[in-house]
Amino acid sequence: MKNFDKYKHMGDKDSANLELDWVHYITRPYTLFTASIWYLWYESQHWTDFYDLDPPAVLLVEQSNGLVRQYRVRSELEEYNKILKNIILHNRDKILAAYVESDKIGKEAELITKVGEGSFGDLKSAVEYLCKAAFYTTILPFTVLGSIDKYNLQDEELLKKSHKLRSVSHYTNLLNQVVSPLAKKYFEKSGSINTKEAIDVVSYKEILSGSLGEADKRIGKKKDNYEFIIQYVSGNEKIFWIKDSNSLISSIEGVYGKIWDDLTGKIACRGKAKGKVRVIVQLDEIDAFKKGEILVTINSNPAFMPAIKKAAAIITDEGGLSCHAAIISRELGIPCIIGTKIATQVLKDGDMVEVDANSGVVKRL
């Protein structure tokens, strides 16, 4: 039985519902603002209509290294997985029709990114478009690939089309070059806060409602090494701050921060390699990657290719045999172990390791 008693009163007025059966889903490098938009994916009509589901409960917990771990309620996630599997097996034309729209949006997103923030007249319309683009070009192909891998489904057409869509990443460019600049302008126009740091400590919903009074206090908390927690249950947003989120993560997952001798995962591409670890979780870290290093990351996407081509081996926290890292490693013949869950937590830059992708084991040297 998980004991969350010490975390039940993290907010001034409310407490987080930590007794739900939370299960880790994915991890991404987000601020409080961009993490709050992450949740909006599930509230968008594109997501709810396609899966015929209400928005799920979501818990977002910032790690001490700035990454954000997304948790879903186990029963809701299982229901979602079953629905997607059923669509793939019995209504795949629904996915193929959506992929036609995905291609159109992908081309449109490229043009919008080039124009930048001027493509939209206001923040709300930009975020609505971002959620639409996220569903069609990111979420749908990502989850289809995950379901094909999870249930060992055989569908070459869906596999190829999904990989093609995932070969180009539009979401990050739209977020950084269109939405974030518009959000900063929103702050400037409000006149209530005049700091570049404020955009990283308020949620999208707070910006729209003008609830910016906590920003200065939160900036102080960030400087004191507090991490944020955002909870969404029945669409209600609650934000909390905690001094040591690592212990909370350990309470939920039971593995976070564990000391290890051998790290294990799934074999994506066989082979062996020894070298120094380089952990990359942010895109601006890719340029520092050196030839012959061991690439350690949460997962990979097309933006990681400059590092992947130099890597002696690849290790990821997430992913199945149909993920980007798995496919690219097989194409390039790079030893690769995926789905370790904790590689980015226990491995540090400069660690000497042996990657034995014949047995799926990483050993510290």
| Arithmetic mean of pLDDT, 293-305 | 92
Domain assignment present for residue 256? The answer is: no
pLDDT at 4 over 50: no
Residue 255 lies in a domain: no
pLDDT score recorded for residue 259 = 54
Stretch 1-13: mean pLDDT: 45
Specify the range with the lowest mean pLDDT, choosing from 104-113, 253-262, 293-302: 253-262
pLDDT at 6 over 60: no
Residue 347 is predicted with a pLDDT of: 92
Question: What is the domain count for the chain?
Answer: 2
Report the share of the chain in percent with pLDDT over 70: 92
- Could you tell me if residue 271 is inside a domain? yes
The model's pLDDT over 24-79, given as tens digits with 9 standing for 90+, comes to 999 999 999 999 999 999 999 999 999 999 999 999 999 988 899 999 999 999 99
H helical segments located in 214-278: 215-223, 245-253
Asked whether residue 218 falls in the same domain as residue 78, the answer is: yes
Give the strand order in the sheet containing 294-297.
262-264, 361-364, 352-356, 272-279, 294-297, 313-316, 336-338, 266-269
Q: How far apart are alpha carbons 62 and 318 in whole angstroms?
A: 17
Based on the domain organization, do 51 and 137 belong to the same domain?
yes
pLDDT band at 12 (very low <50, low <70, confident <90, very high): very low
pTM of the prediction? Answer: 0.88
Same domain, 175 and 69: yes
